[in-house]
Structure 1
Amino acid sequence: MNNQTIWDLIFGPAGSIFMHSMLIVIILMTFLVSFRLLLSRRKIGYFSMIIALFILFVQHAQIIEKTLAQDITPVQEFIALLIKVLAFVMLNIGIYQLYNATRKRDFVVFAFFILLTAAISLSYWFAPAWLQGSEDQSKLLRPLGMELYLFLLLFLSFLLVNSRIGQNGKYQLMLTVYFTTHTIHMANVYLFDSKQIALKFLEQTIPFVFYIVLFLFIFERVIEIMQAIYNSSITDGLTKLYNRKYFYNRVTQYVQQRAPVSVIFSDIDNFKKLNDTKGHHMGDQVLKQVAQIVKEETEDSGICGRYGGEEMVVLVTDPEVDAAGLSERIRSRVEAETIVTVSMGYSMLKKGVNAEELIKQADEAMYRAKTTGKNKVVGF
């Protein structure tokens, strides 16, 4: 009796209801994450994802209803199939929009696939009329067009969506799992007349992998967005160096710890004249070139930032690195590799000096370099 109960629980209607109820829980969790993103980001991709997840919720709720009823009409089967296909289409549209700005041509493509889905769905009603066979054979053939259409959508998703999004590994895994589940479903229905219990069990359990990966996909997207927001709050948009506020906070942190640090202050010579004669675009290019040189030279020894305008600063955190030597390497590379030169000053932390004074000392040293000939390094 106990064995029969366990068997029914796993492979019977109760097992099916349990499996799909658990899938609904995962879908709802993913829905809540997407909804939260929609409220904070107001991006159309999250709206599409919410629609897709709602359709998936309806799909699995309908499967539970079907399991309880144990018999459904052709209309109910058609609606279930249409929901399944539309959910897959909307899910891939949402995933694409999470990583891409939606242009007019994208809307045309999306509309095309939705209309194509609607057209293919008509095969459910008209295909059996073209074929001769028993009532059971007609019943089996009705959903075939829509089932095969899902394989086409899987192939197109690999081809069109995969190369245009991030997290390709997770996306490929999702499509592979979906393909496996759908293949098992097709094999069970069309080869074994839905009588292979093991295949039915796999068809119910493998989707767990799909929805867990989908949840992780969206959750990681949340992390990516949060990281991007954080990075934009501490970095300069043009040069990608740390901004003034973040740099000052880091200097304060090291000074409070009385770490043996130095600050290098640099200013591009004749930058206003460059902007006036060659335009701001050239000025921006030079800023990015100088910033890249500063970043490369200080990668392993300090923290670099854009202090304002054409001023760039370095906090030398490695006690074995000589601030004068590092300043000279930056100055000589800028002179050799760009169309400008830089004046540089540096200051080493001494007892009783706070973060603001340390930066000011380096700035004063840079000013002396600027007023005594430019394109040189001066220590405080």
Structure 2
Amino acid sequence: MTTPTFSDFVFGPYGSVFIYGMLMVIILMTSLVSFRLLMNRRKIGYLSMIVSLIILLVQYGQLIRQALSPSIDDTAVFTALLVKVLAFVLVNIGLYQLYNATRTRDFVVFAFFGGITALVSMTYWYAPNWLEGSEEQMRLLKPLGLELYLFLLLFLSFLLVNPRIGQNGKYQLMLTVYFAGHIVHMANVYLFDGKQRYLGLLEQTVPFVFHIVLFLFIFERVIEIMQAIYNSSITDGLTKLYNRKYFYNRVQQCINQQTPVSIIFSDIDNFKKLNDTKGHHMGDQVLKQVAHIMKEEAEDSGLCGRYGGEEMVVLVTDPDESAGELAERIRARVQEETIVTVSMGYSSYKKGLGADELIKKADEAMYQAKTSGKNKVVAS
């Protein structure tokens, strides 16, 4: 019995088993992340992703069996190819569903492609009568329909799925790698009859890149969801300003560090009358307009929050920024660009002041502005 050489291991069946086994490990890791997301988010996209990954595991399990038993029948070849196509379709459906709510029309499109896939798969068994050739030629012809159908699916994925999802760079890389791997596979089978061992090795290793990028894609989606959850916990849903709790905590943090900060407190004038006469929809629009102006003006000098109702606040952290001048810029822009005006007051930190007192002083200055004519800025 001869000892296997390094070349035998790389290009032989045991090398294929090792590569496919490593790919299955990557797919299992991706499946675990997708399953965790499914349990937490209950979104159908993660279920589609898990099903597609299970099919991929079946695919690579079949490839391992083929590597160990080279003499396989037509049914095994057909099953492996069909599983490959179905896995690609379901992966793309899953990625689409991660970023889009699945509507009735989407199910119609999915069913349509399912039907097309079924029809194309029949070409493996039923070649047209006018296609005649040797036994070897007919053997190569059988899978050609499904092989070319994969190219069509790649093109449609670039065209239809890519514009509708996030992480376009990773998705485009995945499709490009898959396309390159399929080109290598087609060249090896149809130009070299599967006997070019370097192309065969490349065909086996290219999927590593695809599945690593797919894993990173899913992992990045986890980070996006966590970031979205965190943002929703610290921001106001309507104005997108920080909520009262987060704003207060930031003020408290600055006070604890004895940072020289200022607080601007603002209130929209006659807001209740606006809601009563023009409706809450108009009131919401005004709130968003005023919040946008405040964010733009305070972008480089502090942070903004919605303190409650029509009350908005600014924490001025830039020591070079005058709170009075900033408040006046905001007041002037609101008067010029919206249908309302704002009354504003501000206070600056002095040693011994707590967060509650600093905010209260700005609130009292705002109240003074409101009771002495409105649409003005008053210092504490």
Task: Tell me the TM-score normalized by structure 2.
Answer: 0.98
Which residue is equivalent to 1:119? 119
Alpha-carbon offset, residue 2 of structure 1: 11
CA-to-partner distance for each residue in 1:215-251, whole Å, 9 max, x for gaps? 1111111111111111111111111110101000000
Aligned-residue CA RMSD in angstroms? 1.4
1:319 to 2:319 alignment: yes
Which residue is equivalent to 1:77? 77
When residues 40 and 78 of structure 1 are mapped into structure 2, their CA distance, relative to the original with a 3 A threshold, is same
CA-to-partner distance for each residue in 1:12-34, whole Å, 9 max, x for gaps? 10110000000001000111111
Alpha-carbon offset, residue 184 of structure 1: 0.7
Secondary structure, counterpart of 2:125 in structure 1: helix
CA-to-partner distance for each residue in 1:164-216, whole Å, 9 max, x for gaps? 11111111111111111111111111111100011001001111110011111
Secondary structure, counterpart of 1:91 in structure 2: helix
Secondary structure, counterpart of 1:305 in structure 2: strand
Alpha-carbon offset, residue 73 of structure 1: 1.1
> What is the one-letter code of the residue matched to 1:293?
I
1:128–1:138 CA contact under 8 A, matched in 2: no
Which residue is equivalent to 1:212? 212
Task: Tell me the TM-score normalized by structure 1.
Answer: 0.98
Which residue is equivalent to 2:335? 335
> What is the one-letter code of the residue matched to 1:379?
A
1:51–1:90 CA contact under 8 A, matched in 2: yes
Q: State the alpha-carbon separation in 1 of the partners of residues 203 and 2 from structure 2.
A: 25
Q: State the alpha-carbon separation in 1 of the partners of residues 172 and 130 from structure 2.
A: 37
Which residue is equivalent to 1:188? 188
Structure 1 gap ranges (5+) = none
Secondary structure, counterpart of 2:127 in structure 1: helix
Alpha-carbon offset, residue 5 of structure 1: 1.2
When residues 274 and 2 of structure 1 are mapped into structure 2, their CA distance, relative to the original with a 3 A threshold, is farther
When residues 169 and 265 of structure 1 are mapped into structure 2, their CA distance, relative to the original with a 3 A threshold, is same
Q: State the alpha-carbon separation in 2 of the partners of residues 159 and 329 from structure 1.
A: 46
Q: State the alpha-carbon separation in 2 of the partners of residues 205 and 166 from structure 1.
A: 27
Q: State the alpha-carbon separation in 2 of the partners of residues 4 and 128 from structure 1.
A: 45
1:223 to 2:239 alignment: no
Alpha-carbon offset, residue 128 of structure 1: 6.8
Q: State the alpha-carbon separation in 2 of the partners of residues 128 and 136 from structure 1.
A: 17
CA-to-partner distance for each residue in 1:261-307, whole Å, 9 max, x for gaps? 01010000000000000111111111011001100110000111000
Alpha-carbon offset, residue 133 of structure 1: 2.3
> What is the one-letter code of the residue matched to 2:274?
L
Which residue is equivalent to 2:164? 164
1:198 to 2:201 alignment: no
Alpha-carbon offset, residue 130 of structure 1: 5.0
Q: State the alpha-carbon separation in 1 of the partners of residues 310 and 2 from structure 2.
A: 79
Secondary structure, counterpart of 1:209 in structure 2: helix
Aligned 1:125-144 pairs, distance under 5 A: 125-127=125-127, 130-144=130-144
Which residue is equivalent to 1:178? 178
> What is the one-letter code of the residue matched to 2:163?
S
Which residue is equivalent to 2:345? 345
Secondary structure, counterpart of 2:259 in structure 1: coil
1:78–1:124 CA contact under 8 A, matched in 2: yes
Q: State the alpha-carbon separation in 2 of the partners of residues 122 and 140 from structure 1.
A: 15
Q: State the alpha-carbon separation in 2 of the partners of residues 129 and 59 from structure 1.
A: 31
> What is the one-letter code of the residue matched to 1:27?
I
1:302–1:314 CA contact under 8 A, matched in 2: yes
Task: Judge which range, 350-359 or 259-268, deviates more.
Answer: 350-359
Q: State the alpha-carbon separation in 2 of the partners of residues 253 and 191 from structure 1.
A: 69
When residues 281 and 5 of structure 1 are mapped into structure 2, their CA distance, relative to the original with a 3 A threshold, is same
Q: State the alpha-carbon separation in 1 of the partners of residues 240 and 129 from structure 2.
A: 65
Secondary structure, counterpart of 1:71 in structure 2: coil
Q: State the alpha-carbon separation in 1 of the partners of residues 322 and 116 from structure 2.
A: 67
Structure 2 gap ranges (5+) = none
Secondary structure, counterpart of 1:127 in structure 2: coil
> What is the one-letter code of the residue matched to 2:95?
I
1:128–1:141 CA contact under 8 A, matched in 2: no
